[in-house]
Amino acid sequence: MSTSILRESTTSLYEQIAHRLLEEIQRGDYEPSGKLPSEAQLGERFGVSRVTVRLAVGKLSDDGVVERKQGKGTFVAAKQVRHGLDALRSFHEALLLQGLQPTMQVVSHALQAVPEALRGLFENAEDCLLLERLHSVDDEPIALGRSHLPAELAEVAWAEVEHQPIYSILESITGLPVIRADLAIRAQEADKHLAGALHIKRGAALLVMERTSYFADGRCCDRTTFYIRPERYAFILSGVFKSASGS
């Protein structure tokens, strides 16, 4: 069934279509999959050419409303994940708190000598566990986490607990809770390994969050570096500013 548009309007046909689709997206008409009809289907619905449809979808894409996935179609753009920096929580928990359905997949795990750069953190330890896990939302990879952990976690059956946050695994194995973490944030280009894991182009910009976590006795229990797709993620810090006289 066709949907009428105003062909005598001063607003172009493609802009009218883009506006109509935007209203439908905001109304939730394309949930839960988020997939829009094909160009052919939209052309038939609005009684316009594929070129006009392509311009309409292109406008929505430029505005960040939809995203085109090669070989899959056009989808409503995923909501950006907001990670608060004012509370101690795992990366996975930060996703859950926003009503998302994140998944984690163990990419690799191996016992290795503590890297030279981390010997000051893992004092008196010869070995540590290097763990890589892929974090996804809506079946799309959002971050790769590379963790250096105490060697005692090498005995964990990772295939059975890959959906559990690192902090809960640390506490269940050691009996000690993680009480604090230091965070550092920077940017980096994706190398071949990161590009392949995150389904992005080599050299694309990434957000990098480096987290160093500690037990109550002051021992470092986790150094994890998260390599994050920036178009899906934002770090948020809330603060209260007090006025000062003379400032």
- For 187-214, the pLDDT digits (tens) are 999 999 999 999 988 999 999 999 999 9
Domain residue limits at 226: 81-236
Confidence (pLDDT) at 188: 94
Answer whether residue 247 is part of any domain.
Answer: no
- Pair 66, 142 in one domain: no
Confidence (pLDDT) at 223: 96
- Pair 95, 50 in one domain: no
What DSSP element (H or E) covers 73?
strand 73-76
Answer whether residue 243 is part of any domain.
Answer: no
- Pair 21, 45 in one domain: yes
Q: How many domains does the chain have?
A: 2
Report the range of poorest mean pLDDT among 15-19, 91-95, 177-181: 91-95
Of 56, 76, 96, the last residue of a domain is 76
- Pair 46, 118 in one domain: no
Tokens of 204: 């694309």
- Pair 101, 220 in one domain: yes
Query: From the CB of residue 70, how many other CB atoms can be counted at a distance below 10 Å?
Result: 5
Residue 226 sits in a domain whose CATH number is: 3.40.1410.10
- Pair 32, 150 in one domain: no
The pTM is what?
A: 0.67
- Pair 44, 115 in one domain: no
Of 35, 57, 76, the last residue of a domain is 76
Tokens of 116: 């030279």
Distance, CA of 196 to CA of 26 (rounded, Å): 32
